[in-house]
Structure 1
Amino acid sequence: MSVELLMNITPSETRVALIEGGTLQELHIERQASKGIVGNIYKGKVSRVLPGMQAAFVDIGLEKAAFLHASDIIPHTETLPQTEKAKFKVADISELVRQGQDIMVQVVKDPLGTKGARLTTDITVPSRYLVFMPGSPHVGVSQRIESAKERLRLKLITQSCLGDLGGFIIRTAAEGAPENELVNDAAFLLRLWRKVLTRKQRTNTKNKLLYRDLGLEFRIIRDFVGSEIERVRIDSKLTFAELKEFSKDFVPELRNKIEYYPGESPIFDLFDVENEVQRALDRKVELKSGGYLIIDQTEAMTTVDINTGAFVGHRNLEETIFNTNIEATQAIARQLRLRNLGGIIILDFIDMKSAEHRRRVFTSLEQALAKDRVKTNINDFSPLGLIEMTRKRTQESLEHLFCTDCVECNGRGYVKTVETVCYEVLREILRVNRAYNVEKFVVYTSVAVAEALLGDESHNLGELILFMSKEVDVHAEPLYGQEQFDVVMI
């Protein structure tokens, strides 16, 4: 099955689509406005030591000095037993740092209000399966990996990758991972840390940043090291050049697979990605046979209900139900990945009398979920005919990312956020501009979206106007709903 990545890069957001066999399977989104600095590593300078607070303020090049508490200046203890950890006592801050001292730190909490960022010297750098711990000679294994045999296998593989730079923690996601992927992860982290150390020697007083937690496009490339990706297509020349350089240093096995996409039509039109994303926000998912799924997200869990719908089959009712359930297993696995649903998930399959049919449906679901890179746990059919499962939360679901509570229905439904509609308007203008030779555009949209386009999002609209060298007028229509807009050519 062909596998490729499509990257749509704009100043306001980055979107990455994973395509398998010509069908959208995963969508990853990162918006510039919501990016933080957690995970960034800086070469800071202690600007003030406060013994009374057992803390110090550190200048890392931000508007406000960052905060470093004495308890955050500790050696790596992640791999030690509790009895050993208890021996480490927090020393007096005056014994740990002094004013004017250079110190390497990592951000663990973003600045908030009048408070600066929270720092630690206990630096860790994560990858897909491993976490690198500079200066630590140990290899630790996540406690959530329960199999003693698997823990030993993972530890032996990772110990063979140890050098003099530090040790590793094996993450829960590494359970069952092939040896070559673990080795690739370790090699990536060691190359990355050598780069950090080189920058530390060259860092001047103005630029204190040693390592920025990777942007989405780079994290995706990192996480797919060793996977069966055939090619990566990017619609931004700048990002293409950056990724080629990044892959040269850190993931050379993917370097020749990265391509620039110069096409006139938007890159997400190649596999109907935009329409697939819109369909991923619907409650109802149609099956090819005529059956359908109903997917509902609640605060506590996500429920999936399977129905035969218009599918009547060709033999008998039991066979019709079985075939619908089998088809539903593939659709469910895809929807969980595409919508990025996590937490507790309840699957309400159509009742089956045959134990053999239940066994085959459960096996089909297990096989379909095996393709998911996010960890899942599945329980067999309950006495009520339900399958209970969990899927690790990695980020917000599409519904929570794209939608907000609807003020029209007091939270009983969802509408797209003003920000999301603004980006759709900008993409539609760009799409029409590529397709037709026009001099001016007029956008009719809701009052809230119009205010955003002329206010908070005016810089994005302005960049688009400069890029096209065309005029764009925005008109607010009081009767338009929040998701409604029209782009008129003049």
Structure 2
Amino acid sequence: GEDNKEFVKRAREFKIQDVIKPKQILLIQGVKEERGQKGASMTTYLSLAGRFAVLMPNSRKRNSYGISKKISDKTERARLREILHGLKIPKGMTVVLRTAAMGADATSIAADYDYLVNLWNEIRKTTLESVAPVTIHTEDSLLRRVVRDFLADKDDVLVIQGDEAYDAAKTYFQQMYGRAPRKQLVQYKDAAVPLMVKAGVEKQLEGLHGPYVQLPSGGSLVINQTEAMVTIDVNSSRAIKEKDIEQTALNTNLEAAEEIALQLRLRDLAGIVAIDFIDMEEERNNRKLEMKMREVMKRDRARTQVAKINTFGVLMLSRQRLRSSFIETSYVQCPHCLGAGVVPSIQTAALIMFRHLQEKLLAKSAQKIIMTVPSDVAIYLLNHKRAELASMESEFETEIVIVGDDSMMNIDQYSIQRVAPESNKTEDLLDAYAPSTDAKKKDAQHMDAKKTTMNAPRRKRKK
């Protein structure tokens, strides 16, 4: 609130060069990992997560405590506030209680707070004894986080395969909860069938690789991820159990809302999400769907915001980005289409190369031009653009040689060599073009070629 506004106002008064100097030593924490064209985000405002609380040892906030917004009950918030008052938090530190603190007793919260303070003191000690650059502290292992976050209730059960992992989980449980795990940790001992196969996890993971998700009623989802946003289309497909079309649409949409919330978590999809539900005539059904969507998104550990269904029947929501998505971590960008899914046709590629050749001739004369292109493009140029090439040779008083090269993998890849008229020898490579993985760099190359053409002196046409 007010603290953030004041921070932003003060931040605008300074440049980053005035605050951070070369060779200055800072203790920083990674907030977001590198993603696509965006670099990693770092901060000097540290945060350490525990079972019930998050400790911010050098927070800029005025208040020394906070409570998760997902805890909405006023009585519970008042009780937790009293517990926080009794912790005697030092000035400059902030403690925020997580959603897991709901229902927790004062002793458990105080123990978690003491653990985080001791961890911070250990980090400070290690920092003072270390020589930069060095890794001071890393996030807890996956197994430790699962034990911490998903076994708070005594009815929760974690099934583990492998002796080493089981022993480690028992140790973590004893450290965090101060008691034996009893029936909450179960060791899987069937050597014939792996745990992931028996639980059906492998089949679910295979389904994450495609954009289509089938719903039990016969409907389907189509999930497409772009750099700007995630789009999800809900289709009724074979969902025809209900006689009433409106009821069929409502049931399919409610079922889709459950599956969408699950898929967003499984695929780690974040940012702006646009969901095109099946159109419904009755306004009350739209309200039911909105309530259902808000209900299922509350289970998400990431921060979410759900808007109302607009006049186009599209529901927009935003989800906090915790890490790179499943697709980004499991796949690499296609070097041919650069992630677009399409490549130029032979005709389009030939036309682009033909124009680039003309630009080079306008910029500087040559006795001979040797243009190396993919074989398919070379065949097209020689068969369909022979008259234009002959006209260009006559206009610029040069010889144009088109060479096909099967080693060029991309359809719009080419290279141009010029033979200077005074030396009659081939100069160094005049221009070689291979599709770049950087779209901005590719656009800049085309702009440079255009400027060169515009600035070139006008040539008199041969009569």
Give the structure-1-normalised TM-score: 0.52
Whether the aligned pair in 2 keeps the contact of 1:358 and 1:381 (CA below 8 Å) is yes
Residue identity over aligned pairs, in percent, reads 25
Equivalent in the alignment of 2:87: 162
Equivalent in the alignment of 2:37: none
Whether the aligned pair in 1 keeps the contact of 2:67 and 2:77 (CA below 8 Å) is no
Aligned mate of 1:279, from 207, 211, 218 = 207
Q: State the distance in 1 between where 2:106 and 2:4 align.
A: 22
Whether the aligned pair in 2 keeps the contact of 1:284 and 1:295 (CA below 8 Å) is yes
1:263 is aligned to 2:190: yes
Where in structure 2 are there 5+ consecutive unaligned residues? 11-25, 35-41, 343-463
Q: State the distance in 1 between where 2:269 and 2:331 align.
A: 14
Amino acid at match of 1:258: L
Decide whether aligned partners of structure 1 residues 146 and 238 sit closer, same or farther in structure 2, where only a CA change above 3 A counts.
Answer: closer
Equivalent in the alignment of 1:220: 146
Amino acid at match of 1:387: L
Decide whether aligned partners of structure 1 residues 411 and 253 sit closer, same or farther in structure 2, where only a CA change above 3 A counts.
Answer: farther
1:237 is aligned to 2:163: yes
Equivalent in the alignment of 1:191: 115
Q: State the distance in 1 between where 2:187 and 2:137 align.
A: 26
With 223-232 and 398-407 compared, the bigger mean Cα shift is at: 223-232
Q: State the distance in 2 between where 1:299 and 1:197 align.
A: 40
Whether the aligned pair in 1 keeps the contact of 2:224 and 2:231 (CA below 8 Å) is yes
Whether the aligned pair in 1 keeps the contact of 2:147 and 2:172 (CA below 8 Å) is no
Decide whether aligned partners of structure 1 residues 109 and 282 sit closer, same or farther in structure 2, where only a CA change above 3 A counts.
Answer: closer
Amino acid at match of 2:185: I
Give 1:130 deviation, angstroms: 3.1
Q: 3-state DSSP class of the match of 1:380? A: strand
Equivalent in the alignment of 1:333: 261
Whether the aligned pair in 2 keeps the contact of 1:313 and 1:319 (CA below 8 Å) is no
User: What are the residue-to-residue correspondences of 1:101-116 with 2, within 5 Å?
Assistant: 107-108=28-29
Q: 3-state DSSP class of the match of 1:378? A: strand
Decide whether aligned partners of structure 1 residues 195 and 368 sit closer, same or farther in structure 2, where only a CA change above 3 A counts.
Answer: closer
Aligned mate of 1:130, from 37, 48, 53 = 53
Aligned mate of 1:309, from 237, 256, 274 = 237
Give 1:269 deviation, angstroms: 1.2
Decide whether aligned partners of structure 1 residues 354 and 196 sit closer, same or farther in structure 2, where only a CA change above 3 A counts.
Answer: closer
Q: State the distance in 1 between where 2:301 and 2:126 align.
A: 38
Equivalent in the alignment of 1:389: 317
With 311-320 and 337-346 compared, the bigger mean Cα shift is at: 311-320
Equivalent in the alignment of 1:97: none
Q: State the distance in 1 between where 2:30 and 2:329 align.
A: 21
Give 1:281 deviation, angstroms: 2.1
Amino acid at match of 1:237: D
Q: State the distance in 2 between where 1:368 and 1:258 align.
A: 27
Decide whether aligned partners of structure 1 residues 335 and 108 sit closer, same or farther in structure 2, where only a CA change above 3 A counts.
Answer: closer
Q: State the distance in 2 between where 1:148 and 1:412 align.
A: 48
Q: State the distance in 1 between where 2:151 and 2:225 align.
A: 32
Equivalent in the alignment of 1:468: none
Equivalent in the alignment of 1:252: 178
Equivalent in the alignment of 1:141: 66
Decide whether aligned partners of structure 1 residues 344 and 128 sit closer, same or farther in structure 2, where only a CA change above 3 A counts.
Answer: farther
* Cα-to-partner distance string for 1:140-175 (whole Å, 9 max, x where unaligned): 33898999979974871452451477853327x64x
Give 1:344 deviation, angstroms: 0.9
Whether the aligned pair in 1 keeps the contact of 2:50 and 2:116 (CA below 8 Å) is no
Whether the aligned pair in 2 keeps the contact of 1:294 and 1:304 (CA below 8 Å) is yes
Q: 3-state DSSP class of the match of 1:159? A: helix
The structure, 1 or 2, with the larger RCO (C-alpha pairs under 8 Å, 6+ apart) is 1
Greater Rg over alpha carbons, structure: 2
Give 1:299 deviation, angstroms: 0.8
Decide whether aligned partners of structure 1 residues 199 and 131 sit closer, same or farther in structure 2, where only a CA change above 3 A counts.
Answer: closer
Whether the aligned pair in 2 keeps the contact of 1:374 and 1:392 (CA below 8 Å) is yes
Whether the aligned pair in 1 keeps the contact of 2:219 and 2:236 (CA below 8 Å) is yes
Decide whether aligned partners of structure 1 residues 382 and 186 sit closer, same or farther in structure 2, where only a CA change above 3 A counts.
Answer: farther
Q: 3-state DSSP class of the match of 1:379? A: strand
CA RMSD of aligned residues (A): 4.6
Where in structure 1 are there 5+ consecutive unaligned residues? 1-77, 87-104, 113-118, 415-490
Equivalent in the alignment of 1:367: 295
Decide whether aligned partners of structure 1 residues 79 and 152 sit closer, same or farther in structure 2, where only a CA change above 3 A counts.
Answer: farther
Decide whether aligned partners of structure 1 residues 185 and 275 sit closer, same or farther in structure 2, where only a CA change above 3 A counts.
Answer: farther
With 140-149 and 292-301 compared, the bigger mean Cα shift is at: 140-149
Decide whether aligned partners of structure 1 residues 293 and 157 sit closer, same or farther in structure 2, where only a CA change above 3 A counts.
Answer: farther
What is the number of residues matched between the two proteins?
A: 312
Give 1:240 deviation, angstroms: 2.4
Decide whether aligned partners of structure 1 residues 409 and 250 sit closer, same or farther in structure 2, where only a CA change above 3 A counts.
Answer: same
Amino acid at match of 1:230: D
Q: State the distance in 2 between where 1:314 and 1:201 align.
A: 66
* Cα-to-partner distance string for 1:15-72 (whole Å, 9 max, x where unaligned): xxxxxxxxxxxxxxxxxxxxxxxxxxxxxxxxxxxxxxxxxxxxxxxxxxxxxxxxxx
Q: State the distance in 1 between where 2:235 and 2:221 align.
A: 6
Give 1:363 deviation, angstroms: 2.0
Equivalent in the alignment of 1:74: none
Q: 3-state DSSP class of the match of 2:273? A: strand
Q: 3-state DSSP class of the match of 2:104? A: helix
Give 1:303 deviation, angstroms: 1.0
Amino acid at match of 2:298: A
Equivalent in the alignment of 1:299: 227
Give 1:121 deviation, angstroms: 9.2
Whether the aligned pair in 1 keeps the contact of 2:29 and 2:45 (CA below 8 Å) is no
Decide whether aligned partners of structure 1 residues 362 and 107 sit closer, same or farther in structure 2, where only a CA change above 3 A counts.
Answer: closer
Amino acid at match of 1:127: G
Decide whether aligned partners of structure 1 residues 398 and 120 sit closer, same or farther in structure 2, where only a CA change above 3 A counts.
Answer: closer
User: What are the residue-to-residue correspondences of 1:38-77 with 2, within 5 Å?
Assistant: none
Q: 3-state DSSP class of the match of 1:404? A: coil
1:357 is aligned to 2:285: yes
Q: State the distance in 2 between where 1:182 and 1:338 align.
A: 34
Whether the aligned pair in 1 keeps the contact of 2:268 and 2:326 (CA below 8 Å) is yes
